[in-house]
Amino acid sequence: MTISKIKTIHVVDFNNVETHVKWLNSNRVQNHNYRAFPAKAIYLDFSLSRFLKPYHIAPLACLIHEYQSKGFKIKISKTIPRIKDYLGSFGFDRFCDSVTETGLEDPRDQKTFPLWLIRDEGKEFYTIRVKEYFENNHFSGHDLFVLGNSLGELLNNIFDHSHSKIPGYTFTQYNTRTNSIITCVCDFGIGIPNSVNRFLKKTGEQKLANDKALEKAFELSFSALTKPHNRGFGWDTVIGNIKTLQGRLLIISNNTVFVLHPNGKINTQLFTSNFPGTLIVVTLYTSNLPLKEVNSDELDLF
């Protein structure tokens, strides 16, 4: 087998959301050219990468899982030293070797919490681990309830209603340069607008444009959910949490982009490209983290 028969995917930096979406779509496993690349192997080339963030890693994990589920082997072919160290900090090479790896191990880098495969069992355990990990390692005396609570709501939403053929992934990192905690949750499911319109069709209501369907999902009184643990309150909780801490929320789902800015301003945009599922990025600025409340019992000296 020659290298020319093996497909190489160049992982590059994406500052432009739509460019990232187009890259994901072009590299999906259903678009693989078996005639040109008959070998069931993929080389990931990071030689053009200069920086990688959680919103690069979580979708890439979904892409890798998609290939692995079809029997492909994934290998890292080229990296610059800084990117190699970054990928090594959360065991990315080991993740590429096995579709069954969740990444839920002790982090090698205290700023990065490992990539995690979204499964029904263990969702609550994972959100507690993330919260406690950053509280204990970086923010002693501060309360990261918002991080754990918001992440839990997002995992419930994706697991319950993405209808994805493969699991989703989540990834969290503390950026000391921007003093922010960035959490990304990604799946390759049907997308939020499609999920909402599927529900509206069942109830005999009129189909909405994708941007309006996404806004509909945020209404407190509306839920396309069928699970008893979350009926119409998930998105309201997430958005309320982020607003309280003046954080940032980015949602890309189908061809719709939603951005909640730290000043509370909201922008919605439609793309020509269609994201294969939902990508959610939550940014919390550490200067806005509240202090933990001191239990009054701890102050009682008598």
Sequence ranges of the domains in the chain = 3-290
What tens-digit pLDDT sequence spans the chain (302 residues)?
455 589 999 998 877 888 999 999 999 999 999 999 999 999 999 998 988 899 999 999 999 999 999 999 999 988 999 999 999 888 888 888 875 445 555 667 778 888 888 876 767 777 888 888 888 878 877 888 888 888 888 887 776 667 777 778 999 999 988 999 999 999 999 999 998 999 899 989 999 999 999 998 888 656 555 455 544 457 888 888 899 889 999 999 999 999 999 999 999 999 888 998 999 999 999 888 888 775 545 444 33
Class in CATH terms, 3-290:
alpha beta
Strands 41-45 and 73-78: parallel
Q: CA separation (Å) from 160 to 73, 186, 225, 281? A: 29, 13, 7, 19
Residue type, 70: K
Least Cα distance to 164 among 131, 118, 102 occurs for 118
Q: HEC profile for 169-231? A: EEEEEEECCCCEEEEEEEECCCCHHHHHHHHHHHCCCCCCCHHHHHHHHCCCCCCCCCCCCCC
